[in-house]
Amino acid sequence: MGVLLVIPVTHAQIDPFSTRAGLEDVSPDLNWMARDTDACNVTSLHNPVSIYEAVSRALCSDPTARESWANMLLNSAQVGVAESAWLPTLDASGTRSRTVQTQTVSGPTFPDAIGRTSDRYAELRLSWVLFDFGQRDANLAYYKGLLDLSKAAHTETLQSVFGQAAGAFYAVWTAESTLDAADDAEKNAERSYQIARHRHLAGAGTLNDELQAKAAWQEAIYARVNAAGTFKTAQGNLCVRMGIPVETDIRVDVDAGVQPDVKFTSSVADLLALAQAANPKLREAHAQIDADEANAKLALRRELPTISLSGTLSNDKALGAFPRDTRTGSRYIGIQISIPIFAGFGDEYHRQASDAQVDIDRASLHKAELDVAASVWRSYQDVVTKTANLEVAAATQESAQEAYDVASKRYGAGVGALLDVLNAQTTLATAQRQVIQSQADWRVARLVLAFAIGTLDGQRWNTHAEAP
């Protein structure tokens, strides 16, 4: 999409009615990200990758974003076609012919008779609709409604691409953080095993303690290998979203941008009100109603007369014609009235179908309003829950770390049991994973809430920005 957005308008892309004006202002922040100079340049890939770069590259390379942009261009062109109905049409036609006619008469004393004629004809025809009882107005309103619909759909597409790319980014963040935690857990397990082994060799511990510690160490290795596999899978998914080779070994910047905050005081009523005004799905539904209402008016207007101005200017020149050359010119101008009388009841059924479509659109709007409200409510409650979990997970990890340190020191000093160390070790590893998961869940929950409201592009971004 980024390539499409920066293509300059050439002489072949004239826009006399300015129907494409303002298209780049649809979701301007996300479009601005997609037009970043380095967005689709593979050689400029940074490592680690920021959330900004991940989203920019996804917006630039995703085919659905390019498709929705092209759909806006299509509908803007249709608006131009509707606008052109107010202007006259002027057609020119002409012919040029040459005729050679040979007459042969039998007999030695009669020569062939040869006749040559040429004809030149030119005509200029003018047609201009002067009054049509609102047909052109309704037709223009219909296509403007479709353009508004495509604008809302483009916003939804960009936000969807944004959400998918950010989700893939945070999946890599979670997998990388989990892998780091698994490495720490493996080191702790290995340290516990070495302590148990030395105690057994020194006669201060038992073989059973050594074997249990070794089993715990091998289990930690198993967990670390699985975490590495999950990390590679997440890396590949993010590469696909960014439009870069899937085997690219990328890392993500886990420290840039906003960090988790346990304070969340937004009112759900305010968020619901914001969603009613900003959500692109609701804007699509309203635009669809406007377009189909205009189409219903158009169906009614088509049963009314049309008054047009028409005229022709022609010139016909025949050279070599019998008995002499002829030149004929004509001029015509007049008012033409076209009155539809009977079309086999097709117009009536067309009007009924248009009215029924408007009723369908209104029902779809009500359904969309209910869906958006439910989505915002669920997402809001999820953010509240994930926000509360942040503090709990952090406190749990702190306690687990203290318990592990105490148990490890006591066992090393010969006054504690290995089972206490292994239990504390397992609890600490679980707590570390919970902290990582709670932070990832908090970030993703905020994304989902912003997408449900329809405000993923509601602020100006920079290269160090975090998702709203």
Q: What is the residue whose two structure tokens read 């007369």?
A: 305
Instruction: Determine contact, residues 171/234, Cβ cutoff 8 Å.
Output: yes
Residue 80: exposure state from Cβ atoms within 10 A (0-12, 13-18, ≥19):
middle
The domain ranges of the chain are 132-304+340-453
What values do phi and psi take at 206, rounded to 5?
-105, 160
Q: What is the residue whose two structure tokens read 């989700």?
A: 167
Residue type, 154: H
Residues belonging to the chain? 468
End-to-end, the C-alpha distance of the chain in Å comes to 23
Residue type, 289: I
pLDDT attached to residue 100? 66
Q: Are strands 89-103 and 113-131 parallel, antiparallel or unpaired?
A: antiparallel
CA distance 140 to 18: 14
Which positions ≥6 away from 259 have C-beta within 8 Å? none
Assigned fold of 132-304+340-453 = Outer membrane efflux proteins (OEP) (1.20.1600)
Q: In what order do the strands lie in the sheet with 326-338?
A: 89-103, 113-131, 306-319, 326-338
CA distance 65 to 153: 10
pLDDT attached to residue 4? 38
pLDDT attached to residue 8? 41
Half-sphere exposure of 191 (CA within 13 A, CB side): 15
Instruction: Determine contact, residues 213/188, Cβ cutoff 8 Å.
Output: no
- Helix axes of 135-201 and 346-412: crossing angle, nearest 10 degrees: 20
Tell me how many helices (H) and strands (E) the chain has: 10, 4
Mean per-residue pLDDT pooled into runs of 10, the chain (468 residues): 39 78 83 69 78 86 89 93 92 82 61 68 89 90 93 90 89 90 90 86 83 90 94 93 88 64 65 86 92 88 88 79 70 88 83 91 93 91 89 91 89 82 88 88 86 69 42
SS3 315: strand
CA distances from 275 to 139, 143, 372, 377, 467 (A): 30, 26, 7, 11, 18
pLDDT tens track for 401-428: 999 889 888 887 877 788 888 888 889 8
Residue type, 112: D
CA distance 465 to 290: 37
